[in-house]
Chains A and B, each alone.
Chain A
Amino acid sequence: MALVGLSGCGKSLLLKHLVRLMDPDRGRVLVGGNDLASLSRRELEATRSRIGYVFQNSALFDSLTVYENVAFPLREKIRLSKGEIRRKAMSELEVVGLEKAEAKYPAEISGGMVKRVALARTLVLDPEIVLFDEPTTGLDPIVSRAMLRLFASVHRQRALTGVLVSHDIPAIFSIVQKVAMLHEGKIVAVETAENAHASRNPVLAQFVNGEPEGPIGYLESRGESDMRALPLDLEHPVKNTS
């Protein structure tokens, strides 16, 4: 499932509410039928242990190496022997293709590699649901496409549920089954990925096709309506005159 919407519309906040990193001002958040706000600390921990979260900034511990980052949740959370921790962490690093970078620190590897380490650290605890917060932001198109393929293959192999917040349209449509559009605090449309482009929902259709005109009123909502007075030809690409 991909969760799309304008930047700043609250997609990341929605993900944070799903694991109770934030509490809603109004309403309830139900995970597996349970209201997160009513759970005890222990129950909340049990619910959270089913969910993996890949943060937008990756949230790796910069004082630890790549291997130590992936092994960290196993070492601190689960009672396993050193050998087992090593085997499991290395096998996750192999899944994301980073077994050779195990001794490097997060500051020494590229942005794409950092995101892959974050994915490995999330997968090492065998979650049933994985929430990805903008996993391809800041990556070049080739790396981000490879990243999405990696997600798709992990998703297939482990039969997990993935919720992906992204602006990377249309690239994410190739790996998700459904697309949900968040607009003005509400999910206004849920479509299959194939139908999203031709959605009958005008908001989703406008967003997916990147039209400046439509019900979203993008420029007005950003306080940038004066852009309309500029001599911009939004219909045609810029011609190279040199």
Chain B
Amino acid sequence: MFTTAGAWALSLIAHLGRAGAFIAQTFYCSATPPLKFRLAVKQIWFIGWKSIGVICLMAMFSGMVLALQAHSTLRQVGAEGFLGPLVAISLIRELGPVLSALMVTGRAGSSIAAEIGIRRNNEQIDALELMGLNPFRYLVTPNLLALLVALPLLAAIFDVAGIFGGYLVGVRMLGLNAGTYFGEMGSYVRMHDILGGLYKSASFGLLVAWVCCYKGYFTQPGARGVSAATTQAVVNASVLILACDYFVTSLVF
């Protein structure tokens, strides 16, 4: 039993060390030229632009259900007027950053891990190295930059669409006054909430890029290797997003 525990601990340490070296190399390549802007823009288009539709849809329903649930509780204490701030603050501080990050992990994170994994198996990463080119600059840094830009923007779009969903249910369906819904929101939501949400999103962007690129980069050979890397990337990134959410929340708010 001790042998198993020891082997597990050693492999964990090796894993963490490799992941640490991986992110250090990524930071180095992100901070030094040549930066591959064109690749980063392409990834922003893929990760950000192509996710907007699904993010809006998800946000609308989240806002709608939030308004529906909150309204019945608030009505019991006669505080329906606070529906707007409640929906907005929940979305801006918590649901927007977290749900958009989870959605991007499922949609783009899996594809990043699979693409890098297949490039590894097809020896394309070796080919880059032999040309004297750093594979991180082509495969990892563009994804990190794209996620750092795209995730906060997607979270902001999520917030807006979610607030609109809450408006549809709270105002249009349940008859709350539109002025109350938006007016109270204006007086309760602070800049600090908005910035905190954006910081969260950026930290999730870093996390998704790190986990998904790392898993793809060190994939095992064959179709099973790539499929395992993709699954692990999505599962690990999703769990880490929620864990990181707790720590960032306790630090920022």
Q: How far is the CB of B66 from chain A (nearest CB, A)?
A: 41
The size class of the interface chain B forms with chain A is 10 to 19
Minimal Cβ-Cβ distance residue in B for A106: B122
Within 8 A of B (CB), among A57-85: 57, 59-62, 72-73, 76-77
Instruction: Please measure, in the bound complex, the distance between the C-alpha atom of A77 and the C-alpha atom of B137, giving whole angstroms.
Output: 13
Which segment of B3-11, B127-135, B211-219 sits at the interface?
B127-135
Q: Is B124's CB under 8 angstroms from A61's CB?
A: yes
State the CA gap A83–B127 with chains docked (Å): 25
The complex places the Cα of A3 from the Cα of B129 at a distance, in Å, of 24
Count of chain A residues with Cβ under 8 Å from any Cβ of B? Answer: 20
Contacts of B132 in A (CB 8 A): 45, 48-49, 77
Annotate B100-125 by CB proximity to A: 1 below 8 A, 0 otherwise: 00000000000000000000001110
Shortest Cβ distance from A45 into B: residue = B132
Distance in angstroms between the alpha carbons of A77 and B138 in the assembled complex: 13
Measured between beta carbons, the chain B residues less than 8 angstroms from A62 are 122
Q: Contact string, A121-146, partner B, CB cutoff 8 A, digits 1/0?
A: 00001000000000000000000000
Residues of A within 8 A of B245 (CB): none
Q: Which residues of B contact A (CB under 8 A)?
A: 122-124, 126-127, 129-133
A-B contacts, 14 listed (Cβ < 8 Å)? A21-B129, A21-B130, A48-B130, A48-B132, A49-B132, A53-B127, A53-B130, A55-B127, A59-B127, A61-B127, A62-B122, A72-B131, A73-B131, A77-B131
Given A55-B123, A57-B123, A59-B124, 16 new contacts (CB under 8 A): A16-B126, A19-B130, A21-B129, A48-B132, A53-B126, A53-B130, A55-B127, A57-B122, A59-B126, A59-B127, A61-B124, A61-B127, A72-B131, A77-B131, A77-B132, A77-B133
